[in-house]
Amino acid sequence: MFEQKNKSVKHYDGRWAHLYKLWCSALQQEPLPQFDRWLSQEFAKNSKYGSRDRRWYSECLFAGIRFGYFALFCEEFFKSNKTKKIDKLSLDESISDFSKNFQTGNQVLSKWNEISPERFFVWIRLRYELAYKNKPNTLSLELGDEKFQEEVQFFVNLVNLIENSENIIFQLLISSIPIWFKEAIEKRIHESSWENEKTKQFFSELEIRPPLWIRINDLEKIDIVKAELVKEGFEFEQFDSALKVTGAKGVFALQAYRSGLFEIQDLASQRIGQNIQVKNGQFVWDCCAGGGGKTQQIASLLKNKGVIYASDIREYKLEEVKKRARKSGFFNIRCLPWNGENLPNFQKEVENRHGFDWVLVDAPCTSSGTWRRNPDAKYRVSHTNIESLTRLQLSILENASRGVRVGGHLVYSTCSWIYDENEGIILEFLKKNTFYTLVKQNLLGSPNENADTMFAAVLKRES
């Protein structure tokens, strides 16, 4: 049974007032900005914030975005429920109205704008405390005045009714996942044969940021990295070349980072790269390389004994790839822009080998698998953009597949758990491209590992 402790700290102090200002200014951006970037820009403009303030504001604002869908439901239900008594009937009616009234991220956002931040953050703090029931938390309720006692009681009653239910709508709601994802979630549960416990694990992991994962570029130098982590007061756990790192500071300032001994890379993303089982001397094309997270990983497997082409539609991203390659001492990475259509003009060396041994298509996607880290992404996904993305994903995959030599492999990946962007694409691709076979496909990371959720499929070109 969930109970709310009564605390007696004055709620509306200067820090909260400032938080509300930041919240309002975030909501003035249209569409909702990529939140982590927006926040770092805000902090950069305001040098008066110390690191503890930043951490606190960031935790609160992210909680606002993470739990904001549920907070909006609480507010709507509370306002429309005259008696403030919650029963199954009034709850069902309220959910039905809510899902009709809010069918897109923009509708949710514009309603957030209408709620006073003080009220909005009452719901957020209540929900946050529920997520952090047995963990150290930052955003404790501190509702000393009597002002919101009715809301607190309403929240407790609501949570007690829906918290342990197996009703999928209740689970979505309390996990603050917009109900418009119901069908997509059900497809995922079915495709991955998740038992109830697995589904609950997936939902509950969305409440909390994933840990920080780093990837060691050269395992022979792992002891240097570990020694510096210990010296700087970090704790870590090792899983092959991945380390889960915990500490109060960031790792950017570490000498080992600056000299390219490790990269920050989520575990699920590392799992994608591990599918590319390169051998010395092989040729790889990372055709949606972005800033080169996976290019770096492949380069560390090849140890300069092979060649990697890195492409992206956004040419400026390739500058980042080059910079990172220099830092880590990889001199076998060739950058070539690509718009996802006809193959780019690779050098003669590729033609001589009749194509690549490995092509990685780390496709643009909804990023639904990164909601733990970037909860704002859930308000940007709609049926329409899933449909247009899947068309683009299939087209990039088909065009890139022409670069694979016979006997070579095509790896398709996304940072999404949505079936249509993953298994659905592979199914379509294999229907048309019968000279490819599926070696394996897997959902990676959460709920099986404490990370983001991603997908990778490995296909072999047979003829």
Ligand X SMILES: C[S@@+](CC[C@H](N)C(=O)[O-])C[C@H]1O[C@@H](n2cnc3c(N)ncnc32)[C@H](O)[C@@H]1O
List the structure tokens of 270: 């590392």
Q: Does 317 sit near ligand X (CB under 6 A)? A: yes
**Three state DSSP letters for 399-457:** HHHCCEEEEEEEEEEECCCCHHHCHHHHHHHHHHCCCEEEEEEEEEECCCCCCCEEEEE
How far apart (Å, rounded) are the C-alpha atoms in residues 276 and 284?
9
Q: Is 288 a catalytic residue?
A: no
Q: Does 452 sit near ligand X (CB under 6 A)? A: no
Q: Which is nearer to ligand X, 109 or 289 (CB)?
A: 289
Binding residues for ligand X, how many (CB under 6 A)? 16
Q: Which is nearer to ligand X, 122 or 310 (CB)?
A: 310
The reply, when asked if residue 53 is annotated as ligand binding, is no
Q: How far is the CB of 117 from ligand X (least distance, A)?
A: 33
Q: Is the dihedral of CA 255, 258, 261, 266 positive or negative?
A: positive
Beta bridge partners of residue 410, listed in sequence order = 359, 459
Q: How far is the CB of 360 from ligand X (least distance, A)?
A: 8
Residues 6+ apart with CB under 8 A from 394: 425, 428, 429
Q: How many other C-beta atoms lie within 10 A of the C-beta of residue 368? A: 24
Among 15, 52, 305, 314, binds ligand X (CB under 6 A): 314
Among 338, 356, 419, 455, binds ligand X (CB under 6 A): 338
Q: How far is the CB of 113 from ligand X (least distance, A)?
A: 30
Binding mask 395-434 for ligand X (x = CB under 6 A): -x--------------------------------------
The reply, when asked if residue 92 is annotated as ligand binding, is no
Q: Which candidate in 60, 74, 288, 415 is catalytic? A: 415
Among 105, 178, 260, 364, binds ligand X (CB under 6 A): 364
- Ordered strands of the 436-445 beta sheet: 333-335, 307-310, 283-286, 356-362, 404-414, 453-461, 436-445
Helix (H, G, I), strand (E, B) or coil at 373: coil
Q: Does 266 sit near ligand X (CB under 6 A)? A: no
Q: How far is the CB of 5 from ligand X (least distance, A)?
A: 42
Contact range with ligand X by CB under 6 A, out of 85-93, 105-113, 162-170, 311-319: 311-319
Helix (H, G, I), strand (E, B) or coil at 460: strand
Residues 6+ apart with CB under 8 A from 457: 411, 412, 413, 422, 423, 426, 438, 440, 441, 442
| Residues 272-301 interacting with ligand X (rule: CB under 6 A) | 288-291, 293-294
Binding residues for S-adenosyl-L-methionine are 312, 362
| Site of interaction with ligand X (CB under 6 A) | 288-291, 293-294, 312-314, 317, 338-340, 362, 364, 396
- Catalytic residue positions, numbered: 415
